[in-house]
Amino acid sequence: MPTARVQRVMKSKKKRAVDSEKVRRDRLGGKRGGGNRRSARIRRPRASAICAGRPDPTLTGVAGLVPFGVYLEKIGLDAQLRATFFEMKDGPTVIYPMEAQLRMLIDANVVGEQRVFGLEALASDPLFVELAGGVVPSIDTAYRGLARFDDEPMKLAQLEIMMASHGLATLEARTWHSLHIDIDTTVETTHGHQQGAVVGYNPRYPGRNSYHPLLAVIAETGACIGAQLRPGDEGIGNDQAPLIARYVSRLVGHAPKNIPVWARIDSAGDCAKILEALDGTGAYFVTKARLTPDLFGTLLLASGWKSVDEDADGEPLVQVCDLAFRRNEWSKDYRVVAVRRRDRDTGKQVQLWEHLDYGVQVFISNNSDLPAEDIAHEYDGRAEIEPRIAELKNAIGIGKIPTQSFDANHAVFLLKLLTHNLVRRYTAERAPRVMSWRMPWISRALFRVPGRLTRSGRQRHLHVHPKSLLQEMLC
């Protein structure tokens, strides 16, 4: 039995717990509880013992909009909005210019108001009103402004390019070893009779009208560099090949020289035109293959399986194999890699081999240099696209449909994605410590911050808590 001294030594060598990334109050200006250093039990005060003070009309809950606005002026967004959209609402009697309305909606999206109706609540915040030009227009004015995008395909295209350009700018904050662009679709269920919303693929609400937007997201930064709102019955096929190739070409053209770019797409990308278009962009691609009968036959006769992982008994857990397979509609040969596993419950359970519990996945790629297991690993990273889309829906509300007009809804959809890209670019350059956080936490740390807006002579001042992360950015 160990002596008391040995026990003390053993205890002293115990590793201390590493601080978790989830503990964020230090960066938000808070203090740890310190319960291990207290001897007295805490006591909650009676709420009735706190007296109400005089109303203070200078208090704001969105102090983070000031440094954010300074940053957007610096990168030229305000001038860009004016040059692009000024003519949509021009004339000597215009009170609320189009660029000012779009800029106001960006601020509203940043602080968590996902609907146009949220302007009703923000109209009571003195700082938001000040930045909106001294008065927040009625929601009817905002809706009429969005309706001006009807039959304006050129303006929608310019807004999409603006969104993509700020998404690509997020790459400038650091150096990269490789870059990945993930292509995927999502479903936006509608609850009315919106134009363009029709019945289509909708696993959660079958039979309901919906939109089916297409998104292209940079995996490393989370920024969106391509998006299109589409009716609910549109999928991915030959017609989308030029559009997908355009999104991938944007990243290839912006990536530093000699940095490999990977395009990843699910089995919807197993389409001759899409594969040919991706191959012509200069990027590597990897897509999951559709398990058709001819591919099953090739899997049954495949030989040369290589084990890349084994269990404790030496039995293979993961095996890979390059298949000699080509679809009739392909214009050239692509690399086809099969991966069969016993350590996961996803993928088709194909009863072709001695071990009936194998799950199999097949991937198509134009990269002939990487080992087969690395091709599968490149595709596995695509799993991040699902939480990214969930963040876009929950944090900035791309699933919220504000109007009956399809073009107006498309404009709001792109404007929200532009907001997301601007926030990602802003945090990468001005607050890199919180760059990896999700949008709700970034909003708490940098935008939805309490403050006080005061005037002294002709100068306006913003006051925030001295330990706030925002205070460092105001100095």
**Residue 422 three-state SS:** helix
Task: Using pLDDT thresholds of 50, 70 and 90, give the confidence band for residue 18.
Answer: very low
The sheet with strand 209-211 has its strands ordered as 188-189, 209-211, 198-199
Judged against a pLDDT cut of 90, whether residue 101 lies above it is answered with: yes
**Which tokens go with 132?**
């909106």
Which residues, listed in sequence order, are joined to residue 310 by a DSSP beta bridge?
A: 316
Residue 364 CB coordination number (10 Å):
26
Q: What is the mean pLDDT of residues 107-119?
A: 93
Judged against a pLDDT cut of 60, whether residue 30 lies above it is answered with: yes
Judged against a pLDDT cut of 60, whether residue 66 lies above it is answered with: yes
Which residues, listed in sequence order, are joined to residue 67 by a DSSP beta bridge?
A: none
Q: Name which of 92, 87, 86, 128 is nearest 107 in CA terms.
A: 128
pLDDT 10s digits, 202-217: 888 898 999 999 999 9
Task: Using pLDDT thresholds of 50, 70 and 90, give the confidence band for residue 347.
Answer: low
Q: What is the pLDDT of residue 358?
A: 76
Judged against a pLDDT cut of 80, whether residue 26 lies above it is answered with: no
pTM of the model: 0.89
Q: What is the pLDDT of residue 271?
A: 92
**Residue 94 three-state SS:** coil
d(CA 397, CA 406): 16
CA dihedral 229, 231, 236, 240 (to 10 degrees): -60
Q: What is the mean pLDDT of residues 155-168?
A: 96
Residue with tokens 């001897």: 39
Share of the chain above pLDDT 90, in %: 62
Q: What is the mean pLDDT of residues 72-85?
A: 95
Average model confidence (pLDDT) for the chain? 88
d(CA 186, CA 181): 16
Q: What is the pLDDT of residue 313?
A: 80
Identify the residue with better confidence: 30 or 290. Answer: 290
